[in-house]
Structure 1
Amino acid sequence: MPFDGQTYRNLAYLLLAFPLGIAYFTLVTTGLSTGLGLLVTLAGVPIVLATLLVTLGIGSFERRLAEWLLDVDIDGAPSKVELAFGSVDEALGTAKRVLTAPTTWTGLLLVGLKFVYGIVAFTALVTAFAVAVSLLSLPAFYDAAGVTYTIGPYVVDTLREAVAGAGLGLFVLLASLHVLNGVARFGGFLTGALLGGTVNSAGAADD
């Protein structure tokens, strides 16, 4: 598993989930709150419509991102909305198609869930590697001046204890990679489920 390239693509997916989740959530909530606040005027209508179009684009990008990085195959063709703004009738038709497209609303749900998922993924990633690196570095720094390492209630002050701690760190690292691979695959499943397809794992990371 540490030597499987798919593991590192999964980690890249988890790292991207945090900034993308924040960006999506900020963009969509700002657009909707502004547009809905201006619905009493005609200015709010195009803002809401543009925000929903952005949501469709986010869904399409997330689908491709899951396929690229997670190596999963999301069955079912992506929903496409024909856009036409050449006349008032065409613009109204476009608005109707956007509002009635199921992926518009599942895309909004995806934006909210991606925000939460990104925070959880980033927290798990940083915590797992911070703990693992701290333990793995014990043999090098356990006796450094002004540095005290503790594992739970135990103070590490001998080489034997430091080596044992590094062994624990290796176990934590391998276990964390297993867990993080699962979190990444769940992200792909979530994307596929919300965008109307089923997910087939085409290259899950192996040991």
Structure 2
Amino acid sequence: MSDHSWSPRSPSEALARFLGVPFDAQTYRNLAYLLLAFPLGIAYFTVVTTGLSTGLGLLVTFAGVPIVIATLLVTLGIGSFERRLADYLLDVDVDADAGEVELAFGSVEETIGTTKRVLTAPTTWTGLLLVGLKFVYGVVAFTALVTAFAVSATLLAAPALYDAPGVTYTFGPYVIDTLREAVAGAGLGVLLVLVSLHVSNGLARFGGFLTDALLGGAARSAEVTDA
């Protein structure tokens, strides 16, 4: 994992890092990761919960067994995709072989063996946990991004709109009706954008840490236990 969180050695370096966040390409990859987290989290949660609830409800007829196994296979696929997404967008190197399960369905024996491997693979169960956490993470990330950048846009637009005919430009309980107030609001908007980008970077790094801990970490722990 590349170190994008180096510690500045002087106040000038700290200021340069703070002001330079909009010019760092990783910032926009982090934003893409956060924006994708919301639809992906909803899709993962919907598919997995629907599959498991349907399969578990039909277990008494044994028709639910293949549905449950298929859902767990989907969970493994989600984990594989999340590892690649973290690697591509966040530069988080989750072990590509971590949690990989050999799949074979050519015969009854191979199908039974695959089922056993799926049920005993640690990443099957940490993947289920990831699905639930990804849903919460996606909602939090989307809410934070929309709120931060909506407020920032409101402040940045103040100099252009504060004296528009028929417009009463307000920010919360405050009415912006002079150029000085509008410029001050725009300056606050710039500051808020910079702070929001740094917070977004931290939130994205947390997402990468979560993926590595649940998928790569689980597999490494299993390897140590087996050894």
Overall identity of the aligned pairs, in %? 82
- Matched with 1:109 is 129
- Matched with 1:9 is 29
Structure 1 segments, 4+ long, off by >4 Å, are none
- Matched with 1:36 is 56
TM-aligned CA distance change 1:197 to 1:127, over 3 Å: same
When the two chains are superposed, the root-mean-square deviation of aligned CA atoms in Å is: 1.4
- Matched with 2:118 is 98
Distance 2:192 2:208 in 1: 24
Q: 1:69 is aligned with what amino acid?
A: L
User: Does residue 148 of structure 1 match 2:157?
Assistant: no
SS at match of 2:167: coil
SS at match of 1:83: coil
Distance 2:172 2:61 in 1: 61
Post-superposition CA distance 1:119-141 (Å, at most 9, x none): 00000010010000100000000
Q: 2:200 is aligned with what amino acid?
A: L
User: Does residue 27 of structure 1 match 2:38?
Assistant: no
Distance 1:130 1:111 in 2: 28
- Matched with 2:191 is 171
Higher helix share: 2
User: Does residue 139 of structure 1 match 2:162?
Assistant: no
Distance 1:91 1:76 in 2: 24
Distance 1:161 1:171 in 2: 15
- Matched with 1:130 is 150
Post-superposition CA distance 1:90-149 (Å, at most 9, x none): 211111110000000000000000000000000001001000010000000001123222
Higher strand share: 1
Quote the offset at 1:75 in angstroms: 4.5
Of 71, 90, 96, the residue aligned with 1:51 is: 71
SS at match of 1:74: coil
SS at match of 2:114: helix
- Structure 2: tracts of 5 or more residues without a match: 1-20, 219-227
Distance 1:42 1:88 in 2: 16
- Matched with 1:89 is 109
Q: Does the 8 A contact of 1:84 with 1:91 survive in 2?
A: yes
Distance 1:114 1:139 in 2: 39
User: Does residue 68 of structure 1 match 2:85?
Assistant: no
- Matched with 2:13 is none
Quote the offset at 1:196 in angstroms: 2.8
